[in-house]
Structure 1
Amino acid sequence: MELRQLRYFVTVVDEGGFTRAAEKLHVAQPGVSAQLRQLERELGQPLLDRTGRTPRLTQAGAAVLPRARAALAAVEGARTAVDELTGLLRGSVAMGVLPSCGPFRIADLLADFHHAHPGVEVTLTESDAGTLIRGVREGGLDLALIAFGSEVPAGLDVQTVVDEELVAAVGHGDPLAGRDSVPLAALAERALISLPPGGGMRTILDQACAAAGVSPRIVFEASDPGVLADLAARGLGVAIVPSSGAARADLHGVRIVRPRLHGSVALAWRAAGTSGPAARAFVEHAREALRGYAGAAAAS
């Protein structure tokens, strides 16, 4: 009996079939099937019922599965213990970012970590704030750069990178351009430009409107705040953007009041802790890298 056979067996069960298991394992499907048949011959019992479209555990397979998982976990634990002892990091980590993460120098962050720990595979996913928050909570992501309002999402620890007021950005020919502030209720009469649903700023706007009994009229949606600002500068509506996004020569930023809106961009990781030494090292690396960004942003 080989660890490879146990790994193939567990992967077939987890992935719900031989084809998906082979893709995840990066091996040919016949190789997965052959190893499973050999394991079954050694044990003297079929582990999977292959008569349906999806293989299902037999009684023997159900008995073997938790023991196979335990054996694989024990081997990984032994490898991790040795790695920690020698200071060698291996494994994989996954980070998620917002579409408009360019100013945060994520490429430098990833490159620096890769150079320090070449044995760790790092993956990057771009998505909206809601999807990233779920990914961190459920364990698909070790770390994410998210946006949120006044409350930290449940189940997460965060390190704030930027905290900004959200403003109504308009072109200089807009009636609001001569004002310093505007009540949120007054914006219900205007064509608004905002992130799509699920984005951090959009969630803040939607929640504030719901609390105030306001029905916003969103006419343009884009995932990049810079595009929102461009549309507003051309007179196509009122963009809801961070105050820094309205600091342009062709825009005028108007404070939103009653209520005031603000949002945070932050690094987020599971409050219960990361899954291993590689993930812990990556979280600490990212926190240190973006502490420097936060300091530079505060001084600018």
Structure 2
Amino acid sequence: MAERFDLTDLRLFLHVADASNITRGALRANMTLASASERIRDMEVDLGTPLLVRKRRGVELTAAGTALLHHARLVIQQLEHMRGELNDYAKGLRAQVHVRSNTMGISVFLPARLARFLSAHPNIDVDLEEGRSRDIVRAVAAGKVEIGIVAEGLEAAAELETMPVGEYRFVLVVPLRHQLARCRKIPFKEVLDYDLVGLRAETAWQDFLNEQAKRAGKRLKLRVRLDGFDSICRVVENRIGLAIVPEPVARRWTSKLRIIPLDEVWALRHLTLCVRKLASLSPHAQNLVKYLTKSPPARKPVP
């Protein structure tokens, strides 16, 4: 029987496969669950073989599903190449670049550069997701994501093309009248004597801090866990605890919080951009890589 797949079918199947769940895949494809399920059943009927194994908590790919996933990715990637090459002739045809970043990339690095890129390229959309660095490297290697922003020094990234994109420093923020406010710098071990505010337990950064505390022979005394660094700074301002945050975030709170450098080598962090193969990316994705890897404009000093 002849296969009658269209691009909507292929995009839906990619979303379902990446999410390992038809419901979440349908949501990412902006479809109802009933419509998504019907499309996948029609694909299976056309092929004459199951593509998914339905389970109570999601789906798994069959051998045929794995093969279709590979070809679907190639088709979508080729479409992105076509869109880039025809951009001058088809202004109404929008393109999309898939980016996955760790927490620090999203909090510190990407917002300003993505804003400049999107402003200069109104026909390009960026699908940005947050994840752990190791998971991002695997996703890029598998072709699920075109561009990844990850922490430095991941051995798994050695098989990918990588390039440095920026650095940032972690600092301690305390209320203006806190007893530590006069400190010029502070060892992490001394910070562990105080109540802290941090990110949720599943974040890679919080795992890293837990490991540093363990090496110092102590434990983090977390009173509150939140989703973002600005929320953390707001809570610190209300004297609920102290926090370690990226310096660029802390600078937004200089009128309300005291910034104290951490006297630790690991406080200086680097971000790395990784791709499977730069030459094989769509023209739009290659252009975004150029934006993300070029030096940002000089930052004015904080008065």
TM range (shorter): 0.5 to 0.7
Match status 1:185 vs 2:189: yes
- Candidates 121, 127, 131, aligned match of 1:123: 127
CA 283–190 in structure 1, closer or farther in 2 if over 3 Å, else same: farther
The answer for the alignment partner of 1:262 in structure 2 is 267
In the TM superposition, what are the counterparts of 1:24-63 in structure 2 within 5 Å? 33=41, 37=45, 39=46, 47-48=49-50
**Paired residue for 2:238, among 234, 239, 242?**
234
- 1:165-199 Cα offsets, whole Å, 9 max, x none, are x2221112211112222222222220012222354
Specify whether residues 31 and 168 from structure 1 end up closer, same or farther in structure 2 by C-alpha distance, changes over 3 A only: closer
User: What is the letter of the counterpart of residue 181 of structure 2?
Assistant: A
Change (3 A) 1:109 1:218: same
Give the aligned length. 277
Q: Distance in 2 between matches of 1:206 and 1:105?
A: 30
Unaligned 5+ segments in structure 2 are none
Flag the 1:209–1:81 CA change in 2: closer, same or farther, 3 A. closer
Find the counterpart in structure 2 of residue 161 from structure 1. 166
Paired residue secondary structure (1:213): coil
Q: 1:21 to 1:290 in 2, by over 3 A?
A: closer
Return closer, same or farther for 1:138/1:77 CA change in 2, 3 Å cut-off: closer
Instruction: Report the residue type matching 2:4 in the other structure.
Output: R
The alpha-carbon deviation at position 158 of structure 1 amounts to 3.8
Shift of 1:218: 1.3
Aligned partner of 1:218: which letter? L
CA RMSD between the two structures: 4.9
Match of 1:43 in 2: none
Return the alpha-carbon distance in structure 2 between the equivalents of residues 286 and 239 of structure 1. 32
Is 1:251 the counterpart of 2:253? The answer is no
d(CA) in 1 for partners of 2:242 and 2:202? 19
Q: Is the 8 A contact 1:6 1:68 kept in 2?
A: no
Over alpha carbons, which structure has the higher Rg? 1
Cα shift readout 1:244-269 (whole Å, capped 9, x = no counterpart): 44440232222322x34424363522
Deviation of residue 132 (structure 1)? 4.8
SS across alignment from 2:120: helix
Instruction: Check conservation: 1:11, 1:21, Cα contact below 8 A.
Output: no
SS in 2 for 1:227: helix
Q: Report what 1:100 is aligned to.
A: 107
The answer to whether the 8 A contact 1:233-1:250 is kept is yes
Q: CA deviation at 1:239?
A: 1.3
Contact 1:145 1:268 in 2 (8 A): yes
Name the structure 2 match of 1:207: 211
Residues 201-241 of structure 1, C-alpha deviations (whole Å, 9 max, x = no match): 43442232222222111112223222222222332221112
Q: Deviations over 1:136-163 (max 9, x none)?
A: 45543322445x3x63563162432332
**Identical-pair percentage:** 15
Asked if the contact 2:235/2:241 (under 8 Å) is kept, the reply is: yes
Match for residue 217 of structure 1?
Answer: 221
Instruction: Give the residue type in structure 1 aligned to 2:271.
Output: A
Report deviation, 1:297: 3.4
Q: Deviations over 1:91-145 (max 9, x none)?
A: 64312354535752524423434x3xx4x66423245666655544554332244
Q: Is the 8 A contact 2:113 2:292 kept in 1?
A: no
Structure 1 position 174 matched with structure 2 position 178: yes
TM-score (norm 1): 0.65
